[in-house]
Structure 1
Amino acid sequence: MLANFRLRLSHIFFLLILFVSAACTRITTTELGGGLIPIVDGVNTFDTIMELQTDTFEETDTTRVYNSDNMVIGAITNDPLFGRTSAELNFELYPSFYPFSVPGSKDSLVVDSAVLILSYKGFYGDSTQPLQVNVQEISPATPLSPFTSYPVNHPSVYPINTIGNLGNTATIDIRTLGDSVNNRYENSNNQIRIPLRLDVARRFLKDYDSTNAYRNDSTFKSFFKGFSVKVQSTNPANALLYINLLDTNTKLALYYNTSSTGATVRDTSVTYFKFNSAASAYANYIVRNTAGAEINNHITTTSKPDSLVYVQSFPGTYVRIRIPNLQGLSNRIIHRAELVAEQVPDDNNILTLDRYFQAPRLLLLSAYDSAKKQKRNIPNDYLVSTQGPNTVDFGGFRTFKTVNGYDRVAAYNFIISRYIQGIVTRKDSSFTLRLSAPSNDSLNFTPPYPNNLVSQMYYLNAAVGNEVANGRVRLGGGTHSRFRMRLRLVYSRL
C-alpha cells in the first residue's frame, strides 16, 4: 500500500509540474493548443483587468532613413488631431561615368528639355487634394555629405538652404501617379515627372562638359550641390508622397539632339543622371507642428495621466504606460496577459480625415530601462531570431474590429504573459512601458530567462516597422470610459 501511495504521489507531482510548465508558456489563438486556456469559472481560474496609467510624450530620439528606404515629400495642413507636417527631400544625382560628355560636338547640340523624375511608391493622407511641388538647387553654403546619414528630425543640420527654383511650380494629382508613361524613351508607371526650365537643361547639356564640371564626381559636386524637392504647405495640401531614390524610375532626364555622327539627319536623344548609392548624398527633412491641434493639449513633459493618448509615427510621439500594482501581485499561474489598445474614433471626421490618416500598421510595445536610458524588449515575450522579431505572436500589428457602435476601430493587442509571470514568480523588475510607431529604430535586446545575462542592440528597419511619418492614432488611455487601454489577466491561484 505504501508503494501505491508513493506511486500516486509521484503521478500528482508530475501532473503539477506539467501544469505549471504549460501555464508559463504563452498561448495564443493562432497556436496549436490555444483552446487550452482554462474557462474562467470564478473558482479555479480568474479574469481581471489591471489599472494602467497612460500619458503622451514627444519623441526626442533621432530618426534616420537610409538610401534603400522609401523617403517622403509632402504637406499635411488639415489634421485637427495631430497638426501639420511638412517633408522635403534633398539629394544628388550623378552621370553614369566620368569624364562625362554628351555625344557629338557641343556646337551641333540643340537642347530640348530637362525633367526630374521621381519613383513614386505610394502616399499617406488625402489623395483627392493636389500638391504644389517646387524643385530648388541646394546652396553651396549647405552642401550635403555622402558620408552622413542625416536624421530626419534633428534641427542642428537644418534647414538646408537653397538658391532658387529650377522650374515652375508643378501641380501633382496623386490619383494619376500610377498611370503608365509610354513613349520612345519610357515604358513605365509610378513616376512623378517635374519639368525644369530650359536654361537648367542648357546648363547641364552645354555649359557643363568633360573639361569642367564633368571631369569627376568631386568636381561635379563643386559645380552643382543637388536638388531640393519641397511641397508648398498651404491648403488644400493634405498628403505625403513616398519616393525611392535607388529605384530606376528616379533620374534626371536630359533631352537633346545632335549631329553626333556628322550626318544631316538629327534625332532627339536622352541621357540620364541617377542616384549613386556609394557617392550620392541625401537628406529627408520632416517637421511636425502640433500648434492648434488637439494633441497639443495632451503632450506632457513630466507626468499627466490621461484618458486620451496619441501615437504618431516617427518623428512623432509615444505613449508611456505604467502598471502601478503589478510589482505587488502575489505568486500565481498566468495563463494569459494581454495588453489591449483601441482607437478612439474622431466623430467629426469619421468618414473623411479619420479614414485618410490611417493608424500605423505596427505599434511597438517596449520596456524603458531608466538606468541605461534605453528602450529594451519586453522581457521573455518580445523575441528576436534569425527570421526577425516575433511580432506575429507578440502582437502589435493593426487590426480592425467592430466595437461600441463603430464598425472600423483600429486595435492593437500584445501578449506579455511570460513577462508578467516573471514578475509574480521570480520578482523580476516591473518596467515602465512605451508604445510607439517605429520606423528605423533600435532597442536593447535581452534573451529570455534564464539566458538573460547578456544583451545587444537590435535594429528595426522600416520593413518590420512603418515607413517614416506614415501613421497616427488617438487611443483610449487607462481611464477612458469607452475605449479603455487595459491589461487583462487570466490566472489561477497556486
Structure 2
Amino acid sequence: MRKLSSIAIAIFFFISACTKIESTTIGSGLIPPVDGVTTLDTTLDVFTNNYLDPLGDSAKVYKTDDHVIGIINTDPLFGTTKASAFFELKPTTYPFSFPNASTLTADSAVLILSYKGVFGDTTIPQNWEVRELTESLRGDTVFNVSKSVATGNILGTKTINIPRLKDSVNYGFENANNQIRIKLSQTLASRLIRQFDSTANTGAYSKDTVFRENFKGFAVMPAAGSGGNALIRVNLSDTNTKLALFYTFQNTSAAKKDTAVSYFRFSDGTAIPVSGNANYIKRDRTGSQSALFTTGPTTRNDSLVFIQTMPGTFATIKIPRLREFPNVLVHRAELLAFQAPDATSLALVLTPPRYLLLSSYDSTKKVQINIPNDFSVLSGTPNISTFGGFIMEREVPGYGIVKAYNFDISRYVQGIVSRKDSSLTLRLSAPSNDSLQYTPPYPQPNAVSTFYITPSVANNLAEGRVRLGGGGMTRQNQLRMRVRIVYSRI
C-alpha cells in the first residue's frame, strides 16, 4: 500500500474533523476501540433518490410460492393494493369418475385454501368472491404479477374474518385448521358431480385437456367496494388447498344412502397434470406520500426513502466523497439506514420488510449485481447474516427504539481506497423472488454466475413497506442515512 501524500493527509484530517463516534452492531468484536489517535471513525454523506421499480410488475410467482389475496385501502405512505389469485384445481388422475355414478346426488362444493399468514390490519373484514375463469392458464408458464385473467360468473362469496382463519375445522371428513372455506354455488356442484362424466374420449373427465376446456379454473379476489387493509397469504400446493365435492349415493349392499367427498387439487409439477396459476397484484400510489418522492427530480437528495416489497419501489444511494477518501486500513465500513417513524397506528400493522437488499445495477446488461467483495455466497448460501439487511432495532437519540437496517461494506470500501476499484451507485430494495449477477470476492472476479433470491431468504410477496431517513436530511438528524467508517492510518 502506498504512503499518504500531503493532499491525502489534508483530506484525511478534513474528513476526520467531521466525525461523530457511533455504535455498531456488525462485527463489533472485531473492531479495535476508537481512540482518536491510531483508530478513528468518520461518517460520509450519501445522496439518495427514490424510484418506482420498472421491473416490479415482472416479479414472478412460482407454483410453490405463497399467493396473496386481499386489499389495502388505506396506506398514506404507499397508496392502495389489490391482489387476486387465479388457479386450477382438478382431478389428480384421468379418466376420473365418482363411485356409484347412477345414484349420485350433488350435495355441495366447497373451495378450501390453505391459510399461511397476513400482512396488515386483521381487524377489518374483507368481502371476497370466487369467479370462474373464462381464460385458460398454461400450466407450464410462470406468470408475473401483472398477469390478470378473464373471469365470468360468480361461484361463491365470503366475508373473511381474519382472526378466525386459524380456527380448527372438525367434522366427519376432516380435522384441520388454517383453512379458508368458501361454499360455492349448487349449480357448480351439480355441474361437476352430475353433469360431467368420463365417457370414452369425449367426457369432461376423460383426460386433462378435455377437463380444462370444460372448466378453466377459479379466481379468488376482493369484491368491488370491499373494505379491508390487509393481504392474506395462501399456498396452493399445500394439501390444505383443495376443491371438496360432497355427494350422496345409494349404498346397495347396506340398502342405505351414504355421504362421501372427492377432492380436486393443485399440482405444482411433481405430479401430472400440472396446474396453471397466476397472482395479480395491482399497486396504486396516487396521492400517497411516496408518490411525491418518486416523481420529483433525480437531482434532489431525497430526505426520505420509501421502500416497498416487490412489486414495489427502490432507492439509489451514492457516496460522493468516497473516491476522495485516502488510502487507509478500513476496519469497518457500514451503511446505516433508520426508519423514519410514522405517527399513525398503521405503522403497527403495515410493518417494514424483514429484509432489504443492498446491491448495484449494471445498466448495460440490465441486471442487479452484488456489492463487490462483501456480499458473498458459499455453497449456495448468502452471507446476509453478516453482510446485513435483516431488520433490527436500534436506539436513536430523540426517537427511542426504531427499526433499522445495517450493511457491512468494509471490503467494498477498502477496494476503492486501496485499489481504486469503481465507486458504484448502490441500490436498496425489498426483494421477494429476485436475482443477482454474482461475482465472488477479490481476487476471483471472473467467476460470474446468477444467484436467485427466494421468499424464504428475503420477503413474502408484497409484504412489507418502510419509510427511511434519506441522505437529504440535515446532518443533525440522527435518522439520516449515512456511511460510517472505522479506520487506521497506514
Q: Is TM > 0.5 for Structure 1 vs Structure 2? A: yes
Whether contact under 8 Å (2:305, 2:467) holds in the other structure is yes
Q: Deviations over 1:146-186 (max 9, x none)?
A: 11100113xxxx4311111012x210100000010001111
- SS in structure 2 of the partner of residue 241 of structure 1: strand
1:233 and 1:40, CA in 2 relative to 1: closer, same or farther beyond 3 A?
farther
1:266 and 1:440, CA in 2 relative to 1: closer, same or farther beyond 3 A?
same
CA distance in 2, matches of 1:301, 1:63: 25
1:40 maps to which of 26, 34, 38 = 34
CA distance in 2, matches of 1:321, 1:248: 44
Q: Does 1:207 align with 2:195?
A: yes
1:230 and 1:182, CA in 2 relative to 1: closer, same or farther beyond 3 A?
same
Whether contact under 8 Å (2:148, 2:278) holds in the other structure is no
Which residue identity lines up with residue 247 of structure 1 in the other structure? Answer: D
After TM superposition, list the pairs within 5 Å mapping 1:85-484 onto structure 2: 85-106=81-102, 108-139=103-134, 142-153=135-146, 158-167=147-156, 169-211=157-199, 212-232=203-223, 234=225, 236-261=227-252, 263-278=254-269, 279-300=274-295, 303=298, 304-347=300-343, 349=344, 352-481=345-474, 482=477, 483-484=479-480
- SS in structure 2 of the partner of residue 259 of structure 1: strand
Whether contact under 8 Å (2:372, 2:441) holds in the other structure is yes
1:326 and 1:112, CA in 2 relative to 1: closer, same or farther beyond 3 A?
same
Q: Deviations over 1:414-436 (max 9, x none)?
A: 01100000000000111100000
CA distance in 2, matches of 1:259, 1:409: 65
Whether contact under 8 Å (1:77, 1:234) holds in the other structure is no
CA apart distance, 1:401: 2.7
CA distance in 2, matches of 1:253, 1:325: 63
1:405 and 1:233, CA in 2 relative to 1: closer, same or farther beyond 3 A?
farther
Whether contact under 8 Å (1:111, 1:205) holds in the other structure is yes
Q: Deviations over 1:124-164 (max 9, x none)?
A: 0000000111000111xx311111100113xxxx4311111
Which residue identity lines up with residue 88 of structure 1 in the other structure? Answer: S
Whether contact under 8 Å (2:26, 2:406) holds in the other structure is no
CA distance in 2, matches of 1:374, 1:163: 39
Which residue identity lines up with residue 161 of structure 1 in the other structure? Answer: A
Which residue identity lines up with residue 98 of structure 1 in the other structure? Answer: Y
Whether contact under 8 Å (2:432, 2:458) holds in the other structure is yes
CA distance in 1, matches of 2:114, 2:360: 38
Which residue identity lines up with residue 420 of structure 2 in the other structure? Answer: K
Gaps of 5+ in 1: 1-27
| Overall identity of the aligned pairs, in % | 50
Whether contact under 8 Å (2:127, 2:226) holds in the other structure is no
Which residue identity lines up with residue 160 of structure 1 in the other structure? Answer: V
- SS in structure 2 of the partner of residue 423 of structure 1: helix
Equivalence for 1:65: 61
Q: Deviations over 1:224-268 (max 9, x none)?
A: 111000013536310000010111110000111101545421121
Whether contact under 8 Å (1:57, 1:301) holds in the other structure is no
CA apart distance, 1:43: 2.4
After TM superposition, list the pairs within 5 Å mapping 1:7-86 onto structure 2: 34-61=28-55, 62-86=58-82
Which residue identity lines up with residue 166 of structure 1 in the other structure? Answer: L
Q: Deviations over 1:439-464 (max 9, x none)?
A: 01001000000011231111111111
Q: Compare 320-329 and 222-231 and name the one that shifted more.
A: 320-329
CA distance in 1, matches of 2:326, 2:26: 29
Q: Deviations over 1:59-92 (max 9, x none)?
A: 1222111111111100000001100000000000
CA distance in 2, matches of 1:202, 1:382: 57
Which residue identity lines up with residue 232 of structure 1 in the other structure? Answer: A
Whether contact under 8 Å (1:105, 1:259) holds in the other structure is no
Q: Deviations over 1:336-381 (max 9, x none)?
A: 101010111111x1xx200100100000000122332221110000
CA apart distance, 1:479: 2.1
- SS in structure 2 of the partner of residue 462 of structure 1: coil
Q: Compare 477-486 and 415-424 and name the one that shifted more.
A: 477-486
1:235 and 1:261, CA in 2 relative to 1: closer, same or farther beyond 3 A?
closer
Whether contact under 8 Å (1:50, 1:488) holds in the other structure is yes
Which residue identity lines up with residue 114 of structure 2 in the other structure? Answer: S
Which residue identity lines up with residue 252 of structure 1 in the other structure? Answer: L
CA apart distance, 1:493: 1.8
CA distance in 2, matches of 1:151, 1:176: 31
CA distance in 1, matches of 2:194, 2:414: 72
CA distance in 1, matches of 2:25, 2:121: 36
CA distance in 1, matches of 2:402, 2:219: 38
CA distance in 1, matches of 2:303, 2:224: 32
Whether contact under 8 Å (2:127, 2:227) holds in the other structure is no
1:408 and 1:161, CA in 2 relative to 1: closer, same or farther beyond 3 A?
farther
Q: Compare 315-324 and 233-242 and name the one that shifted more.
A: 233-242
State the TM-score, normalized to the length of structure 1.
Answer: 0.89
State the TM-score, normalized to the length of structure 2.
Answer: 0.90
CA distance in 1, matches of 2:297, 2:375: 27
1:30 and 1:378, CA in 2 relative to 1: closer, same or farther beyond 3 A?
closer
1:222 and 1:36, CA in 2 relative to 1: closer, same or farther beyond 3 A?
closer
Whether contact under 8 Å (1:29, 1:35) holds in the other structure is no
Q: Compare 229-238 and 158-167 and name the one that shifted more.
A: 229-238
CA distance in 1, matches of 2:318, 2:195: 64
CA apart distance, 1:301: 7.5
